[in-house]
Structure 1
Protein backbone atom coordinates (compact mmCIF):
# COMPACT_ATOMS: atom_id res chain seq x y z
CA UNK A 1 0.00 0.00 0.00
CA UNK A 2 1.32 3.43 -0.94
CA UNK A 3 1.38 5.74 2.06
CA UNK A 4 3.48 8.53 0.51
CA UNK A 5 1.00 11.02 -0.96
CA UNK A 6 3.40 12.20 -3.68
CA UNK A 7 3.99 8.62 -4.88
CA UNK A 8 0.24 7.95 -4.80
CA UNK A 9 -0.46 11.10 -6.82
CA UNK A 10 2.20 10.06 -9.35
CA UNK A 11 0.71 6.56 -9.69
CA UNK A 12 -2.81 7.91 -10.13
CA UNK A 13 -1.58 10.38 -12.74
CA UNK A 14 0.11 7.60 -14.72
CA UNK A 15 -3.05 5.49 -14.56
CA UNK A 16 -5.21 8.43 -15.69
CA UNK A 17 -2.88 9.10 -18.62
CA UNK A 18 -2.92 5.41 -19.61
CA UNK A 19 -6.71 5.33 -19.54
CA UNK A 20 -7.03 8.58 -21.52
CA UNK A 21 -4.25 7.94 -24.05
CA UNK A 22 -4.32 4.15 -24.48
CA UNK A 23 -7.35 2.39 -22.98
CA UNK A 24 -10.16 4.63 -24.19
CA UNK A 25 -8.80 5.15 -27.73
CA UNK A 26 -8.43 1.35 -28.14
CA UNK A 27 -11.70 0.34 -26.48
CA UNK A 28 -13.56 -0.53 -29.69
CA UNK A 29 -10.62 -2.49 -31.10
CA UNK A 30 -10.30 -4.55 -27.91
CA UNK A 31 -14.02 -5.27 -28.01
CA UNK A 32 -13.93 -6.16 -31.72
CA UNK A 33 -10.97 -8.53 -31.31
CA UNK A 34 -12.23 -9.82 -27.94
CA UNK A 35 -8.71 -9.54 -26.56
CA UNK A 36 -6.23 -6.96 -25.35
CA UNK A 37 -3.47 -6.50 -27.92
CA UNK A 38 0.24 -6.79 -27.20
CA UNK A 39 0.95 -3.02 -27.47
CA UNK A 40 -1.53 -2.34 -24.65
CA UNK A 41 -0.14 -5.20 -22.56
CA UNK A 42 3.38 -3.91 -23.17
CA UNK A 43 2.37 -0.45 -21.95
CA UNK A 44 0.78 -1.92 -18.82
CA UNK A 45 3.97 -3.89 -18.25
CA UNK A 46 6.05 -0.74 -18.71
CA UNK A 47 3.91 0.99 -16.08
CA UNK A 48 4.61 -1.88 -13.70
CA UNK A 49 0.97 -2.83 -13.26
CA UNK A 50 1.62 -6.58 -13.49
CA UNK A 51 3.25 -6.44 -10.07
CA UNK A 52 0.15 -5.04 -8.37
CA UNK A 53 -1.74 -7.07 -5.82
CA UNK A 54 -5.29 -6.23 -4.85
Structure 2
Protein backbone atom coordinates (compact mmCIF):
# COMPACT_ATOMS: atom_id res chain seq x y z
CA UNK A 1 0.00 0.00 0.00
CA UNK A 2 1.13 3.54 -0.72
CA UNK A 3 2.15 5.70 2.25
CA UNK A 4 -0.41 8.51 2.34
CA UNK A 5 0.81 10.26 5.50
CA UNK A 6 0.26 13.98 5.01
CA UNK A 7 -1.79 13.45 1.84
CA UNK A 8 -5.31 14.87 1.84
CA UNK A 9 -6.42 14.45 -1.78
CA UNK A 10 -5.83 11.68 -4.31
CA UNK A 11 -7.03 10.54 -7.70
CA UNK A 12 -6.72 6.78 -8.05
CA UNK A 13 -6.39 5.99 -11.77
CA UNK A 14 -7.18 2.34 -12.45
CA UNK A 15 -8.39 2.04 -8.88
CA UNK A 16 -11.00 -0.66 -9.57
CA UNK A 17 -12.68 -1.28 -6.21
CA UNK A 18 -11.29 1.84 -4.52
CA UNK A 19 -8.98 0.00 -2.13
CA UNK A 20 -6.68 3.01 -1.74
CA UNK A 21 -9.55 5.28 -0.73
CA UNK A 22 -11.21 2.68 1.48
CA UNK A 23 -7.95 2.00 3.34
CA UNK A 24 -7.31 5.71 3.94
CA UNK A 25 -10.47 7.33 5.28
CA UNK A 26 -8.86 10.77 5.53
CA UNK A 27 -8.34 10.93 1.75
CA UNK A 28 -10.71 12.93 -0.41
CA UNK A 29 -10.71 12.31 -4.13
CA UNK A 30 -11.89 9.85 -6.70
CA UNK A 31 -11.43 6.56 -8.46
CA UNK A 32 -11.33 6.30 -12.25
CA UNK A 33 -11.22 3.07 -14.24
CA UNK A 34 -12.29 1.52 -17.53
CA UNK A 35 -16.04 1.57 -18.28
CA UNK A 36 -16.48 -2.19 -17.88
CA UNK A 37 -15.04 -2.05 -14.33
CA UNK A 38 -17.29 0.73 -13.00
CA UNK A 39 -20.51 -1.28 -12.36
CA UNK A 40 -18.66 -3.81 -10.17
CA UNK A 41 -16.76 -1.02 -8.41
CA UNK A 42 -19.98 0.85 -7.64
CA UNK A 43 -21.38 -2.30 -6.04
CA UNK A 44 -18.28 -2.75 -3.90
CA UNK A 45 -18.22 0.92 -2.89
CA UNK A 46 -21.88 1.05 -1.86
CA UNK A 47 -22.12 1.91 1.81
CA UNK A 48 -18.47 2.97 2.12
CA UNK A 49 -19.03 6.72 1.92
CA UNK A 50 -17.72 6.88 -1.63
CA UNK A 51 -20.41 8.48 -3.73
CA UNK A 52 -19.37 7.60 -7.26
CA UNK A 53 -17.01 5.64 -9.45
CA UNK A 54 -16.19 7.21 -12.79
CA UNK A 55 -15.39 5.52 -16.11
CA UNK A 56 -12.35 6.79 -18.00
CA UNK A 57 -13.26 7.48 -21.61
Higher strand share: 2
| Greater RCO, 1 or 2 (C-alpha within 8 Å, sep 6+) | 2
- In the superposition, the TM-score normalised over structure 2's length comes to 0.24
- Pair member with larger Rg: 1
- In the superposition, the TM-score normalised over structure 1's length comes to 0.25
Higher helix share: 1
